[in-house]
């Protein structure tokens, strides 16, 4: 995994959104779902308060989660992002959503990305939660609140 510095990562997201919007022939000056990707809200950070050596900062964890959704759920992300909440949680088996595979991880950053209004695309999930390992940034899974 390539870790881009924060400004370069934001530039890459903006460039990707511009390319995708331009490819569709849309006006990039209007607030469309495609251009909403480049204007992500500031993540809120919470959860357990423990010191983790070499832990990634909250903003970086949020960037990793959004990048995972860009790859795995681009239709959802195209609806726009209303909020990003990052919560540090314990990761014992059977205590996290079934789509999350903790492996050897004891702690996990659960990044809940709340989307804009559902369009006629048929995607109705209000949010998806990406589980990120706090030090490596590895994706441990993506949880859909409508699947239990």
For 100-144, how does the pLDDT look when each residue is reduced to its tens digit (9 = 90+)? 888 888 899 999 999 988 777 677 889 999 999 999 999 999 998
Question: Is 17 part of any domain?
Answer: no
**Residue numbers of the domain that contains 107:** 40-143
pLDDT in tens, 5-47: 444 444 333 333 333 333 333 333 333 333 344 578 999 998 7
pTM of the model: 0.70
Question: Is 15 part of any domain?
Answer: no
Q: How many domains does the chain have?
A: 1
CA separation (Å) from 11 to 20, 36, 50? 14, 14, 32
């Amino acid at each position: 995994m390539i870790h881009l510095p924060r400004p370069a990562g934001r530039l890459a997201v903006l460039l990707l959104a511009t390319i995708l919007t331009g490819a569709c022939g849309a006006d990039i000056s209007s607030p469309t779902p495609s251009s909403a990707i480049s204007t992500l809200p500031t993540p809120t950070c919470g959860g357990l308060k423990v010191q983790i050596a070499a832990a990634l900062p909250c903003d970086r964890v949020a960037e990793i989660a959004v990048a995972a959704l860009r790859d795995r759920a681009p239709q959802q992300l195209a609806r726009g992002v209303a909020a990003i909440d990052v919560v540090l949680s314990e990761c014992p088996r059977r205590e996290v959503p079934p789509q999350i595979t903790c492996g050897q991880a004891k702690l996990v950053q659960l990044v809940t990305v709340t989307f804009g209004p559902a369009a006629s695309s048929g995607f109705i999930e209000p949010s998806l939660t990406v589980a990120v390992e706090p030090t490596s940034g590895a994706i441990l899974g993506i949880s859909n609140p409508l699947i239990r």
